[in-house]
Amino acid sequence: MSAMGPMQRVPTESWRPVVVFAQVRLALALTTALVAVILGLPYGGRVAAVVGCVTLPWSLLILFLARSHRDAALNPLIAVGDLAMLAIIGLIVPETYGPVRFLALALLAVHAHFQGERIGIAVSLFGVGALVAPGVLSNGDAPVEGERLAFYETTFAASALMTVVLIGRFRSEESASRLRARELSRRTMKNENEIRRKLSEALHDGPVQELIALDMTLAATRSAAEQGDKQRAAELLDEASDVTRRNIRALRDEMLDLGPYAYKEISFEAAVERCLPVWERRFQLSTEVAIEPLELPSELEGELFRITQEAVTNAGRHGRADTVRVSLTGGDRGIELIVADDGKGFGDVDPLGATEAGHIGLASIRERANLMGGTLQIESTDAGSEVRVRAPDPRRGRFGPKQRPSR
């Protein structure tokens, strides 16, 4: 997932809000013109003239772009044009000082939502300058002057920046979260397809071929028994038994790759204990386990196990660890799961940053921690790494009643 550049607009999920914004802008211009006519063209008809000659054509252009050239409708220059239009209205009709600034705040808020925080701040700085400078440089023609003008303009500038920063920040974070979720979903589907392909190949090259050989061995055993060669029949039965045990172990390894199982019947501790021999054999490492017996909901134990599985796999496959330590504790501060290793760490990769290729497991850990309402901390050095997950204590009602039968 590529990171957004310093002045790159945040992605837009739907173009419908852009069209609605253009329609509202046009409706506002038409309403202003209608009200000006009803009130008998106040301010010497200057408001009606500006709306008719500037605001309406500009609003029609934006609506056209929103319907036919969507990328152009979200160009930051559109936001600059909106604020420049308000500045023109303020210069021609100084009496509209208040309404112009109210509209400016509304437009800045919407543009910050579409553009994101960084572009929104740049646009707001331009807008504050374009609207404040004429009043400051005026020679007594402004409706507000002196200390009151300074107070009003300072308040307007602070309000504009605060609005843009808050809305832009919320929008940027929301967009980044959606991009991470989308990338995680894409990588998860790709990973699932890869697992299915590997599983198919493993079953074909392993158990299927072994079962064919087992069938031949059993046929030879029957032939030897029929011929009265008991020694040969016993040797063939021992060979068949070895093939069976070897395939049972291979199938259990494949089941482990597919994820945890039987959570309604076994605890987190039992699931980890079952997987330790496989992890130690597969990754050539030793394990140390310290798990406090806790009565946890089965769905929570499932998430904790998957996090443990991802962390151990990462330590063995990428971190080249010799030892992995797994601990689970509970207390007043909630549940804490720690998976530490003495491997080579993550190097220059930020484990909590954007999802990198080959690090789908880290993204999965982060998403699972979020689903539990918990927090994730990852520390990495050349001497190893530590994955620490804290989650609310389910016995305090955060995860609902326990579903697994009591042990």
Residues 4-53 pLDDT 10s: 455 566 666 677 888 898 999 899 989 988 998 898 888 888 888 888 88
What's the CA gap between 292 and 210, in Å, rounded?
41
The proportion of the chain whose per-residue pLDDT surpasses 90, expressed as a percent, equals 18
Q: Is the pLDDT of residue 400 over 60?
A: no
Taking 60 as the threshold, does the pLDDT of residue 167 lie above it?
Answer: yes
pLDDT of residue 357: 43
Contact 367, 303 (CB under 8 A): no
Tell me the two tokens of residue 174.
Answer: 């929301």
Element (H, E) at 290: strand 286-291
CA distance 323 to 286: 5
How far apart CA 337 and CA 398 sit, in angstroms, is 17
- Going by C-alpha positions, the residue among 170, 166, 156 that lies closest to residue 86 is 156
> What residues contact residue 18 under an 8 Å CB cut-off, 6+ apart?
12, 66, 70, 73, 74, 114
Instruction: Give the pLDDT confidence of 96-130 residue by residue, as tens digits.
Output: 888 889 999 999 999 888 888 888 889 899 988 88
User: Taking residues 244-253, what's their average pLDDT?
Assistant: 78
At 342 the pLDDT is 93
